[in-house]
Structure formats: C-alpha cells, structure tokens
C-alpha cells in the first residue's frame, strides 16, 4: 500500500474538499464519532507516509553506490509493517464510511462496496489490490512485488469521474440518493484502482528497477504529506479536544 501514497493523498484531498463545500451540523454523538474517524484516518495515513520514507531511505545506499544491492532483512520487516498498515487503514476507512454518509449520502456512496448490506454499509475494498511484499526470485537473492497507480490515474480528475458515476447511480432519483443505491452492484473506487494499477517487481541487484520505484515514491509522498497536513488542519478547525473523549469504535457516548 505504501506504493499508492499519491492516490491515497489525492483521494483524501477530494473527500475534504467535498466536505468543505457544504456545512453540516452533526449531533453530539455523531460529532464525536466523526472526530475519532478522521483522527484514525490521519494516524493510518501517517504510517503509510512513514513507510514510504523508510523505503526511500533504505534504498539510498544502493542508489548512491555505497552498497551493491538491497538487503532482505530490512524489506521483510518493511513488508510486514506494510501489511499492518493495510489492516489499520482498512479499519479507519470502514469507520469513516458511515461518517461520510452523515455529511452527505452521496459522499458516503464514494466508499460503497459490492453486496447487499443487512443493516450496515458495505465498504469498498479498493485497498486490496495495493500490494507490497517479498516474492520468489530465480536470479536474485530476493525480490519485491508491488503495484503502483499509473501516471494517468495520479493526474486524473477524480471529481469528474465521481460525479459521472454518481449521476448514473442516481439517475432514477436526481434529487436524492435512492434506496436502490444501497444495493449498488459496483465498487467505484475498486474499479478505478484495478483499472489503473501497474504491476512491478524489483530484484535485489537491479538498480534500474529500484530507481524507477524511488522516482515514483518521491513524487507520491509529497502528495500524501500535503494531504495529511490538510487533514490535520481540518481536524483542528472542525473538532475540539472534548470531541475525542468517551468514544469507542462503534458508538459515541456523551457524558
């Protein structure tokens, strides 16, 4: 997932821009839950950012000629941390989903996944194709398998794609989100990710492959860093410290 930092940053910026376009008064319980959801999202994305910087730092000696190849121990640990970050971000997105629906049902639709929910929202599985792990290698000490977003996706207008897809989903009821949307049989974000991912492999001794990924990560981490700063400012402006008290993952409890 660390190789998708740029797309995650773009997606976060899009969501915050949409929320900023419209005022929304949440009741105290929903406000507390929203505060926790955005804080969890920030912490999860901050870990992704840290992983990207770790990856760039670890590859630097090889890229500058100080070492002859990459070394397995560091990247095995990195892959394990990436798996942990994936789990944490998945939980944060699931917690955020009903919060976005409170702000605007149309925005909640952005995170809808396939299926027929029974009393709860089904969240998109768009994170699942974001891969970074060790893979078998025949001609190298070890290799890293990963996926990255295409350059076209990073430049794409996510807002326009969202509005076009949402219009199709709502065409039967243009003034409100129809009940039928809860049974939407497509996963908007997953389709975007699967349609624009690029598979890559890095062999431990291949400098050209390392340089190619490093160039992509250097561009992407700047996007995520800026988005996380925007999220921090959003949390400061929209919520108070009291909003984070007496809250669990499932219910906000006002005392």
Domain boundaries, the chain: 2-111+124-241
**Among 37-41, 118-122, 172-176, which is the least confidently predicted range?**
172-176
The band of 24, judged by pLDDT with boundaries at 50, 70 and 90, is low
Q: Output the pLDDT for position 254.
A: 42
Structure tokens at 96: 């955020």
pTM of the model: 0.89
Rounded to an integer, what distance in angstroms lies between the CA atom of residue 196 and that of residue 238? Answer: 34
183 or 157, which is more confident? Answer: 157
Block residue for tokens 């406000």: 31
Map residue 202 onto helix, strand or coil. strand
Question: Of 200, 223, 209, nearest to 59 (Cα)?
Answer: 209
Say if CB 123 and CB 114 are below 8 A apart: no
> Measured in whole angstroms, how far is the alpha carbon of residue 198 from the centre of its chain?
17
The band of 116, judged by pLDDT with boundaries at 50, 70 and 90, is low
Total Cβ atoms within 10 A of residue 241: 7
What are residue 132's DSSP bridge partners? 146
Q: Output the pLDDT for position 61.
A: 95
184 or 10, which is more confident? Answer: 10
- Proportion of the chain in helix, strand, coil states, percent, rounded to 5: 65, 10, 30
Say if CB 213 and CB 200 are below 8 A apart: yes
- Count Cα neighbours of 187 within 13 Å in the Cβ-side half-sphere: 18
Map residue 123 onto helix, strand or coil. strand
Structure tokens at 95: 């917690």
Q: Output the pLDDT for position 175.
A: 52
Q: Does the pLDDT at position 252 exceed 50?
A: no
Question: Of 249, 254, 253, nearest to 97 (Cα)?
Answer: 249
Tell how strand 132-135 and strand 197-203 pair up.
unpaired
């Amino acid at each position: 997932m660390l190789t998708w930092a740029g797309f995650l940053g773009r997606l976060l910026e899009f969501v915050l821009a949409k929320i900023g376009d419209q005022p929304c008064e949440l009741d105290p319980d929903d406000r507390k839950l929203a505060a926790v959801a955005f804080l969890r999202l920030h912490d999860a994305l901050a870990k992704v950012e840290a992983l990207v910087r770790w990856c760039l730092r670890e590859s630097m000696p090889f890229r500058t000629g100080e070492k002859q190849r990459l070394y397995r121990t560091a990247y095995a640990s990195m892959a394990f941390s990436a798996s942990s970050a994936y789990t944490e971000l998945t939980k944060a997105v699931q917690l955020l989903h009903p919060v976005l629906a409170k702000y605007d049902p149309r925005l909640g639709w952005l995170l809808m996944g396939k299926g027929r929910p029974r009393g709860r929202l089904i969240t998109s599985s768009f994170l699942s194709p974001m891969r970074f792990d060790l893979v078998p290698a025949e001609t190298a000490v070890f290799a890293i398998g990963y996926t990255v977003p295409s350059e076209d996706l990073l430049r794409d207008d996510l807002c326009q794609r969202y509005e076009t897809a949402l219009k199709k989903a709502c065409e039967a009821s243009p003034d409100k989100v129809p009940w039928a949307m809860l049974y939407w049989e497509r996963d908007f974000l997953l389709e975007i990710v699967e349609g624009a991912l690029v598979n890559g492999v890095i062999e431990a001794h291949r400098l050209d492959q390392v340089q190619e990924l490093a160039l992509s990560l250097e561009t992407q981490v700047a996007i995520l860093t800026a988005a996380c700063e925007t999220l921090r400012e959003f949390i400061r402006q929209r919520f108070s410290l009291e909003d984070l008290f007496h809250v669990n993952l499932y219910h906000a409890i006002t005392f």
